[in-house]
Chains A and B, each alone.
Chain A
Amino acid sequence: MTRWLESERLLATLLLAPAVLLLGLFIAYPFVMGVWLSLSNTSVGNVGEFVWFRNFVKAWNDSIFRTAFGNTFFYTFWATIFKLALGMWLALLLNRSFRGKRIVRATMLLPFIVPTVLSTFAWRWMFDPTFSVLNWLLYQTGFITTKLPFLSDGTYGMWCAIVVNTWRGMPFFALTLLAGLQTISPDLQEAASLDGANGWYRFWHVTWPLLKPVTVVVVVFSIIQTFSDFQLIYVLTGGGPANATHLLATYAYQIGIATGLLGEGAAISLFMLPVLFIVVWLQLRYVRRLEGA
């Protein structure tokens, strides 16, 4: 018994087992199941047969899929740019000392804390085609003479979704970048000031290089979350009008869960995998390079 307990190999196995079990159960199994589904013609109530890559080919030839694929890149690109720019701006502002700083910081968290479904419902009411408070406001203040088609036009709908995503995701950027900013020694800023650097130069040559590692990590996390976004689109537009705002996740849901074509739905969602894999690979490479430096 003592010999058993003293065995390092056994102890290591025992200690690792729960983690391996959890990973296997909650990550590996669903993933393998998803891959199997995508290679089969499983539909609701019917056990599928292996069909090789037929679902992927069918998805690629599907015009709605292509729209959703393009939309996912467009949505992720612009939402990430806006979140980064506004989050950085907010972080720089909050890094200064002013009265009520703590209250402002706490308030800023609100969009992040409120459940996405709830906040998106509120936005949906604001963009409502008939009763939009924003339209009313713009009309009353004389900016518009006819209603803006916030959610009833594909292009407007996509930009509305980007606005809501930016609103919701900006605090995450701001807070993380703020944490990064606070690790930068004020002495460096002072030294740069004494050397005659103006605000922009100080940011570009002092703050930004030191903040870059944090920024990269935040951007990568955000890309992953935004690329696979579901709740926001599902509640705000449901992928409409005429599929103009579908993302890969919402279209996969419509095909796989609502229509019951589980194999095809799984294939659509797996199209996200290579993109996210590249993003994660780039991030790991960057982090390793930093560690090596």
Chain B
Amino acid sequence: MQNPELDGHGVTSGVTRRRFIAGSAAVGMAATGIEGILAARRAPAFAQGTRLNILRWVDFIPACDIELKRQAPEASKALGAEVVFEFINGNDLQPRITAAMQSGAGPDIIQMLHNWPHLYQNGLVDVTDLGEWQGKDQGGYYAQSEAAAKDGKRWLALPHGIVGLQFAYRKSWFDEVGQTSWPKTLDELRQVGMKLKKKGHPIGQTLGHTFGDAPAWAYPLTWGFGGAEVDKPGKKVVLNSKETVEAVKFMQAFWKDACDEGGFAWDDTSNNRAFLSGEIAATLNGASIYIAAKRGQDKIKDEKGEPMVKDIQHGPIPNGPAGTWAYHVAFSHAVMKYGKNPKLAKDFLKWLHGKEQFGKWFLVADGFSVGSTKYWEQSPMWNTIDAPMRIYRQAAAASRMIGYAGPPSARATEVYSKYILTDMYAKACQGTKAEDAVKWAADELGKIYG
């Protein structure tokens, strides 16, 4: 029996030879990207058994990881390759990256935090085409995302999202000590923190070796007093300044007067636990505290037995003498050079970062992770989200990048990875003179930049 779809020349019925040739050429040209997949209307012919491994942190919003796992089979179907996610502790990502790059084997795509792509740039596939596409498709990047993943003209990784960090605080406890609105200055924060600590509800801030909360406080605090790591060209270390010393002196007093002094040994989850168990009155954090309190409101109650979420508000880092900046953590996905299927990896990223897929993940994140581009500020989600969460909508715009005032560089990442700024504050709060702590940190920076 003759195949009804084929005519005598072996060409699909209803398609002329000329149209077929033109169509084939279009498919061939577009086959370098997701357009190719869509044009062909079937998964590309990747070798059977092809697998794409993606390594990410364990998200503070567990539903985000669940959503990615849910999307994995869809991606597998669209790409014709098995897509597998692996999630590990955020603190363990850097060691895994080093091990994978040195052994030349490991996940095809690895999630990068901060400006890590600059440190690992020699091991990453150029994703400039994707970087340009995403920026144009989604309304342009926040400066933070671009600084984290772009080296001059070349995109080292594809920006994914930004985790905004704001102070979560217990409204009723602030009211009790006469502070009915979020403090406008750092000094006001210290004053109210003093009263709160006396009542047994200190402010919680980690000065430990953590990947998120500690740098998100140490860097903006330095900037708030006018301090900077290096000059604008990124050549000269300027950390040892009157401004930085003032920032450190403030921190010494703030620590003693207002903070839970156990914070030296806190990791990124400790302040979440301390806040949700009613131990601390405020802490600089992503929105995970609010979201956890909301999703677990049957169990997480305040001292009156009411759901704690009703008593949680958010506020930005208050103004220092030189203003206020935040350090919101930029996330990106890097395609590893040692991978066997860089094209497949890039196709997958285009699929994952596209409006449709990212949009679903963005909704699940509930404001904890926002987009790396401004398009996502217009999401209808912001109209229905709880009032305390609205502060995260445009927060990413007010962020500086580590290594300020210099351009993004691997050296800034090295300073971050060695926890030098965090330790500068930790040393001072443990009794080292502010001037000596700053000098120590500046010397360490000098060794890196020198």
Which residues on A are within 8 Å of B, measured CB to CB? 44-46, 58, 61-64, 128-131, 147, 149-154, 157, 237-244, 253-262
Contact = CB atoms under 8 A, between A and B. Distances in A.
Contacts of A259: 94, 414, 417-418
A129 B270 contact: yes
Contacts of B264: 129, 149, 151-153, 240-242
Contact of A147 (B94, B101, B123, B262): B262
Given A157-B265, A257-B95, A44 B279 contact: no
Contacts of A131: 273, 277
Interface residues of B, number: 40
A237 B119 CA distance: 26
Given A129-B270, A130-B279, A261-B414, A45 B262 contact: no
Contacts of A154: 430
**B102, B123, B262 pick with most chain A CB within 10 angstroms:** B262
Contacts of A129: 260, 262-266, 270
Given A44-B120, A241-B207, A258 B98 contact: yes
9 contacts: A45-B120, A130-B277, A149-B264, A153-B430, A238-B267, A243-B423, A256-B98, A258-B95, A260-B94
Contact of A257 (B99, B119, B260): B99
A242 B432 CA distance: 11
B61 interface: no
Given A63-B443, A128-B270, 6 more contacts: A44-B97, A45-B122, A149-B261, A153-B264, A242-B426, A257-B99
Contact of A130 (B98, B262, B414, B447): B262
B208 A238 contact: yes
B101 A45 contact: yes
Contacts of A240: 208-209, 264-265, 426
Nearest to B430: A242
B265 A45 contact: no
Contact of A242 (B97, B267, B270, B427): B427
B406 to A, nearest CB: 18
Given A63-B440, A130-B273, A154-B430, A258 B417 contact: yes
B121 interface: yes
A238 B208 CA distance: 9
The 3 tightest CB contacts between A and B, nearest first, are A129-B262, A241-B264, A45-B122
Contacts of B207: 241-242
Contacts of A237: 265
A207 to B, nearest CB: 42
A154 B120 CA distance: 32
Interface in B102-128: 102, 119-123
B417 A152 contact: no
A116 B97 CA distance: 24
Contacts of A147: 262
A41 B430 CA distance: 34
Contacts of B444: 63
B397 interface: no
A61 B446 CA distance: 13
A257 B92 CA distance: 10
A62 B444 CA distance: 8
B265 A260 contact: no
B274 interface: yes
Interface string B422-450: 01001100100000000010011001000
A289 to B, nearest CB: 44
A198 B346 CA distance: 80
Given A152-B265, A241-B265, A242-B426, A44 B101 contact: yes
Contacts of B265: 129, 150-152, 157, 237, 240-241
A254 B261 contact: no
Given A44-B119, A147-B262, A238 B209 contact: yes
Contacts of B417: 254, 258-260
A58 B101 contact: no
Contacts of B267: 238
B123 A241 contact: no
Nearest to B99: A257
Nearest to A245: B265
Contacts of B261: 149, 152
A258 to B, nearest CB: 5
Given A129-B266, A260-B119, A241 B430 contact: yes
Contacts of B418: 64, 254-255, 259
Nearest to A238: B209
B99 A130 contact: no
B270 A130 contact: yes
A48 to B, nearest CB: 12
B430 A258 contact: no
B102 A262 contact: yes
A240 B422 CA distance: 11
A44 B112 CA distance: 15
Interface string B185-208: 000000000000000000000011
Contacts of B99: 257
A61 B440 CA distance: 12
Contacts of B273: 130-131
Contacts of A260: 94, 97-98, 119-120, 417
Interface string B71-105: 00000000000000000000100110111011000
Contacts of B274: 130
Given A63-B440, A242-B264, A45 B123 contact: yes
Contacts of B98: 44, 256-258, 260, 262
B433 to A, nearest CB: 14
B122 A46 contact: yes
Contacts of B102: 44, 262
**B99, B209, B414, B426 pick with most chain A CB within 10 angstroms:** B209
Nearest to A242: B426
Nearest to A147: B262
A253 B444 CA distance: 18
A255 B419 CA distance: 11
A237 B265 CA distance: 7
